Structure 1
Amino acid sequence: MASKLLRISKKFTTISQRLKSSHSGDFQAALASLNIPTELTVANNNLRVASQSTDSDTTTVGLFIDVGARYEEANNNGAGNLVQRLLFKGTTKRAQADLESDISSLGARLFSTTSRERSAIYATCLTKDVPKIVEILSDAIQNPKLSSEDLAKVRSEILREADEVESNVQDVVFDYLHATAYQGSPLGQTVLGPRENIQSLTPNDLKYYIDTHFKASRIVLAAAGGVKHNEIVQLAQQHLSKLENSFDGEPPVLSRCRYTGSEVRLRDDSLPYAYIALAVEGPGWNSPDRIPLLVATSAIGAYDRSQGKLGENSTYEICHNYQGFNVTYSDTGLFGVYSVCEPLQCDDISKAVLEAWHRVSYSITDAELDEAKNRLITQLLNQQSTTKGNCEDIGNSILSFGRRVPLNELAASIENVSNQTVRDVTDKYTNNKCPVISAVGPVENLTDYINIRTRMYWARV
């Protein structure tokens, strides 16, 4: 199935260009033929079990948890990232060496991630080894050792990683972008957390974090590949039925989000290029504007001088590279463009971003829109062409929407977005709005915020 999706995704742009409106039925039939149902079962303790079964010899299975940096306070920001690293340092049932030996003997590959709203631990393995992997993952989240010795090692790892992140200018730009867009709210916090928290959080702090957030109703056991749904349900009953779902007091809720149009500039003339992200507030996961704005992001496209143009915005070719982005959270998002340019091109780049938004809002052509849709759907097909990509999509979709959105339904939603809708939605989020700007490097040439804000009013551009 995975190889089939890979072959189809490579041909999809050509196929979809041929399937114009007069062949929309054929187009939807082609998508439907790729669609395999995702089954969902809610266990007695409210744990959700979701899977998509194929004829693959491998399966990716994991636990996706509704928790991230946005659920943390200033004094424990970074706790989730510490917990994620410690889950595979051993449990009360098995030492780290035994855990690593068990994983190695299966030839499995482990993954773990923590973001601002989600966390996950999952693995890709041979389908026959799924029972063992589910047992290991279940043990990891229910019986973590959280020893002081392991915590000290993880602290050192994270502090080294923090140094690496600080040398990765793009990561710095996006961390600053969140910090200034959502200043004063947890969504503006980093996932790693501040150094003082990394160094001061204790095993008891991390145990409290786990006891507060790792509840059955906040977790999805997701699987994609050769395993059957009833087998996954049985494994959940066997290994996760004792996972608690009671809370001391009120269940954790997302902190209130507050977007603030503003800017942050870190001028560093020692850097060879200027790195700039310019964005506006976008919609959350369940907004009807999400899909049209994804299409608008695809229309803005991307460009890399070393690889050639991927979008239609020739004005961006003054820079080294640029990329439209659309970061989405539960109730908010950031819709913008990230670019890397020469120091004296900063102001030209800021103008080019506003011109791109203006073009999509008022003059995007049907041909450009079709290309943007094709590019977006092809990207979705590529993301779901492996068991890993499918599993990630299942877990995150259940947490975001309460269901797995079928691929043909999602593709149809994209195809059905009209030219006028893309124009109206882009205009709604960009015209006369307060932008957020994060700029790092030799950015003296970037005009002041008030000037950029004034340009956001299209009548004055």
Structure 2
Amino acid sequence: MSSRWYPGKKIITSVGREVLRSSRFISASAAQSIISPKTTVTTLPNGMRVATENTNMPTATIGVFIDAGSRYENDANNGTAHFLEHMAFKGTSRRSRYDLELEVENLGVHLNAYTSREQTVYYAKCFSSDIERSTDFLSDILLHSRLNKNDVESERSVIIREAEEVAQNMQEVVFDELHAAAFEGSPLSFTILGSNENIKKIDRSDLSDYINTHYKANRMVIAASGGVDHSHVVQLASKYFGQLPSGSAEYTLGAKYVPCQKIMRVDAMERVSGAICVEGVSWTHEDNLAMMVANTILGDFDRSRGFGLTSPNSMQLDISKIDGAILFQSFNTCYKDTGLVGVYFQTEPKALRQLIDAIVRGWRWMAYDVDSQTVERAKRSLLTNVMLMLDGSTPVTEDIGRQLMFYGRRIPMDELKARVEAITVDSLREVCRQRLLNCKLAVTIVGPSLKDIPSNQEIEAALAR
């Protein structure tokens, strides 16, 4: 299969471009004065929402966003959502795999998909004149996939190889282990790919059951941007998805954060990889935007590539002086009802304790000593990064789909700007004190010769002193 139109799985481990629905930093009167968004939204009779933004481009992107991912699975079928992503391109009741590939290639359409813990997304980038054909492709692979037994068996080995590749990526390993421990007992602890045992036994009935359970019209958004006409896209959505039923599925969604320390000794490794974090906030929590600004300030550092050296903050400067510290990346990962805020790092074993101490100092600096100039710079950087990420029809479509899923609307840039501007150094310090210093830790560390690791209680005491 051509890698151009189906490059494969894309895992979302930390998404930071969305904004919150409500905020303590902006008044109701100010919110009412903000310009309405350019995004137009229509809800079909079956509950499916259709959202578009016309930028009069010669190209367009249209995508289907489904409120279904690995956290909607159980112990027995974990990995099914991702498996379905692979099976969607193996042929339908109307098109063989060869016919599907040929049609897509002849039109020059870029067809892609990815799975996260909370969403499955299928989208097509095309010429504006081919928007109906692209919608037809998406409808066909989503609603009429053959799920042929032979195709299931052949794709099984592909997914196992993919899992082996993920197992070589230490950042993926650390985040998967962190989720498994920090959300133990809930589906949010599951990996996106599923265990090897599950991958080897998932069959056609599992895939079909997942579609029938979760692929409901009221749990989907069709988003499009570029050279698109809203009324036309609504007509296409009604034509190709209008018969899809609505419904509610029975599943366990709630996730409870569990403080933990998970140490995994692997003597064959030369470096230590790990993450130290606290419970974060949901997409719609009032503190989310402030945590995005804090995450921007803390930033990242990579000694081998020079990242974080040109405009360093206190924590970057501190860690850069530690002999053996290799990199760190701050993260703010949000879900519907919870989140994780912390730092991922790599270091030589000798520097592990010093690096953890530096993270403690960095968080305390954010909570008590971060200055107004740093906060203002981070606010401008956050807004700039958001706007730069919306360069092109595909990222705009993804932004529309995600925001409709998480917030029920597309938040206009003017509103985002007003909320960011309303954050002050005092309000940011307050949120950091509440979120970074007064919460129980979740720590995951993988590496060789893991000695002299401070307990969570020691770290928490240092944060609270």
Give the TM-score normalised by structure 2. 0.88
Give the match for residue 270 of structure 1. 268
- Of 392, 413, 417, the match for 2:419: 413
| CA 456–192 in structure 1, closer or farther in 2 if over 3 Å, else same | farther
Contact 2:364 2:463 in 1 (8 A): no
Aligned partners of 1:373, 1:334: CA distance in 2, in Å? 21
> Shift of the alpha carbon at 1:254?
5.2
Taking the TM superposition and a 5 Å limit, the aligned residue runs for 1:239-318 are 239-246=240-247, 251-253=249-251, 255-305=253-303, 306-309=305-308, 311-312=312-313, 313=315, 314-317=317-320, 318=322
Give 3-state SS (helix, strand or coil) of 2:222's partner.
strand
Aligned partners of 2:460, 2:239: CA distance in 1, in Å? 61
Taking the TM superposition and a 5 Å limit, the aligned residue runs for 1:288-367 are 288-305=286-303, 306-309=305-308, 311-312=312-313, 313=315, 314-317=317-320, 318=322, 319-367=325-373
> Shift of the alpha carbon at 1:443?
5.5
Give 3-state SS (helix, strand or coil) of 1:37's partner.
coil
Contact 1:41 1:233 in 2 (8 A): yes
The alignment-based identity, stated in percent, is 34
Contact 1:345 1:445 in 2 (8 A): no
Q: Deviations over 1:211-238 (max 9, x none)?
A: 0000000000000111111111011111
| Structure 1 position 218 matched with structure 2 position 224 | no
Give 3-state SS (helix, strand or coil) of 1:403's partner.
coil
Q: Deviations over 1:110-153 (max 9, x none)?
A: 22111111110001111111110001101111111011111112
> Shift of the alpha carbon at 1:320?
1.6
| CA 457–326 in structure 1, closer or farther in 2 if over 3 Å, else same | same
Give the match for residue 399 of structure 2. 393
Contact 1:77 1:197 in 2 (8 A): yes
Contact 1:347 1:445 in 2 (8 A): no
Aligned-CA RMSD value: 1.7
Contact 1:80 1:209 in 2 (8 A): yes
| Structure 1 position 402 matched with structure 2 position 408 | yes
Q: Which has the higher helix share?
A: 1
Give the match for residue 27 of structure 2. none
| Structure 1 position 126 matched with structure 2 position 102 | no
| CA 443–219 in structure 1, closer or farther in 2 if over 3 Å, else same | farther
Q: Which amino acid aligns with 2:464?
A: W
Contact 2:88 2:145 in 1 (8 A): yes
> Shift of the alpha carbon at 1:311?
4.0
- Structure 2: state its 5+ residue gaps: 1-30
Aligned partners of 1:57, 1:445: CA distance in 2, in Å? 59
Give the match for residue 188 of structure 1. 189
Give 3-state SS (helix, strand or coil) of 1:120's partner.
strand
Contact 2:280 2:338 in 1 (8 A): yes
Aligned partners of 1:82, 1:425: CA distance in 2, in Å? 40
Give 3-state SS (helix, strand or coil) of 1:404's partner.
coil
- Structure 1: state its 5+ residue gaps: 1-27
Give 3-state SS (helix, strand or coil) of 1:298's partner.
helix
Give 3-state SS (helix, strand or coil) of 2:103's partner.
helix
Q: Deviations over 1:22-48 (max 9, x none)?
A: xxxxxx9xx97xx96000000011110
Aligned length: 425
Give the match for residue 52 of structure 1. 53
> Shift of the alpha carbon at 1:176?
0.6
Aligned partners of 2:100, 2:461: CA distance in 1, in Å? 57
Aligned partners of 1:81, 1:237: CA distance in 2, in Å? 27
> Shift of the alpha carbon at 1:426?
1.0
Give 3-state SS (helix, strand or coil) of 2:377's partner.
helix
Contact 2:37 2:410 in 1 (8 A): no
Give the TM-score normalised by structure 1. 0.89
Aligned partners of 1:331, 1:442: CA distance in 2, in Å? 35
Contact 1:430 1:456 in 2 (8 A): no
Give the match for residue 21 of structure 2. none
Aligned partners of 2:71, 2:312: CA distance in 1, in Å? 33
Q: Which amino acid aligns with 1:269?
A: D
Contact 2:300 2:307 in 1 (8 A): no
Aligned partners of 1:251, 1:162: CA distance in 2, in Å? 28
Contact 1:433 1:453 in 2 (8 A): no
| CA 454–37 in structure 1, closer or farther in 2 if over 3 Å, else same | closer
Aligned partners of 1:194, 1:75: CA distance in 2, in Å? 10
Give 3-state SS (helix, strand or coil) of 2:301's partner.
strand
